[in-house]
Structure 1
Amino acid sequence: MSEVKVTGLAEAIAEHVEDGMTVALEGFGHLIPFAAAHEIIRQGRRDLTLCRMTPDLVADQMIAAGCVRKLVASFFASGSAGSLHELRRRIERADPEPLEVEEYSHYGMYGRYQAAAAGLPFFPLKSYAGSDLPALNPQIRKVADPYGGPDVHVVPALAPDVTVVHAQRADRFGNVQVWGIVGAIQEVAYAARKVIVTVEEVVDDEVVRSDPNRTLVPAHAVDAVVHCPGGAHPSYVQGHYDRDNAFYREWTAISKDPQLLRSWLQEWVHELPDREAYLERLGEERWQRNAVGERLSGQVDYGRRSA
């Protein structure tokens, strides 16, 4: 019989995330696991290697909280709202301490996850031709084409100790269903040793079976499922809530001021026990600003043997 994997967020982080681990938090603009990141901060994890395509606000917050020793990432920006000023202080001035950084392109990061998911040592890609990144990152190398073509750039496989992602729904066994922008969710899940998934809904088994092609990460790849409505705020979840663009704009002023940033962490992370308390503090009025209307997809008839 399949194992039931539903647990609480605090329990999932306590069991699977340890100091010094390599931890991937993925979700490409969409489905960013902010609640899980806040729980990692709340539990005081240290010396993490944080892996993320587009290390936006969630990276700025975790770095400011002292959780991150090294950042492995691509495209350093606060969504479309400007710089990540905690990250800039660390890189530009080692203030209050240095941060080790390993930079790739988006496709380079995706290729690293894909290689690890497939059990391969590296991933070849052509998009670094003419780029400055190979000169800045010695992990991006060239190998000879065994079929006689020109040399090709490769990136090493990236296998996180733990991957954390957010999704629309899962069943109790950990069959995870996603729609909208999926990014590298499937690849980074298969690449990792352990996988934690926070979801807007834990649904009956029959809901998943009725639409099996929506299952992006199946149960055998998942270690913990956490019911966590609103777990991606201020990013968005297709079909549940929109991106809180006002929050992203507000973050510029917050992150520019180290004291203000630490006060924000105290008020919005350390003083709150869980995501439910976070949403309560956020307030119903602000939450409703990002509400979305219903737009149902079409139905697919999978067919059934009649005899």
Structure 2
Amino acid sequence: MTPRRKTGLRIGAYSLLILSLLAGASCGEKEAKDPAGAGTEGDGSLQADPLLADARAVGSLTMELRWADASRQSQRVELFRDGRQVWARSGHRFAIESRVNEQASTRPVGQGVDDITGDGVPDLVIREFTGQPGRFVFIVVGLGPEVREIATIEARHEGAFIDVNGDGRHEFVGTDWTFDGWKAPASSSPAPRVVLTFEGGAYVLAPSLMQRPEPTPEQIEQLIIGVLRSNEWQGGNPPPALWGTALDMMFSGHPELGWSFLELAWPEGQAGYERFLGEFRAQLLKSPYAAALGL
């Protein structure tokens, strides 16, 4: 049987837009719309704030972007239906276009879809950067008769809505950054893959969609050799590949193999294994997915 093709985000009949909040954003609360997008100027008077971009049609709604206040330190994105505001969110910077300038390079930030949750209602996905390097959240907004915020998903560096199993619904594929900066710089910190599926009105972990074939004995041997030969042992520190490989095994359906790998890839005669194992276990329990994975 030919496996069904995995599909990423696609532009559907509703031509929904992805918004990407640039670095330095703060997660604002929903707020009421000022008349004509007014902002309070220095003299205390209210003056109309011009739109920062042309109003856009989002299904049956209209989306506008304007300054959130007179200081122009933050912006506000608003959704309207028949001239009435039905949803708003403030943040440092929003980009309405499909590409943004980030770190001196222009790159795609996403596409729109019809219905990513599979409930028959079109959705708007907003990507919001928190202001901390590499950290952002995805906000899923349902565009039904009642416009509502369905979910907020924290992410680091990467994340995408993908139809993993070909059932027509989009799962969220991201990473778990519980070990970010743990015994290693953030740039080399391992982050195992996670898949979230929409069930019961929320995105929850889908362990069955994270499973991968168990490595062969030959592959495991090569992984062990790679860790043992790491130069980082010379400084008395285990390399991130040690716990990174173990985490990948644990998060892909092979927890027992992951625990065994930690011991097998620890050099004979190298002190500190029991202490490392205890610290690793304590850090792992901080993961929001540890319980669901039986770790």
TM exceeding 0.5: no
More strand as a share of residues: 2
Structure whose residues are more often helix by fraction: 1
| Greater radius of gyration (CA) | 2
| Structure possessing the higher relative contact order (Cα contacts under 8 Å, 6 or more residues apart) | 1
TM-score (norm 1): 0.20
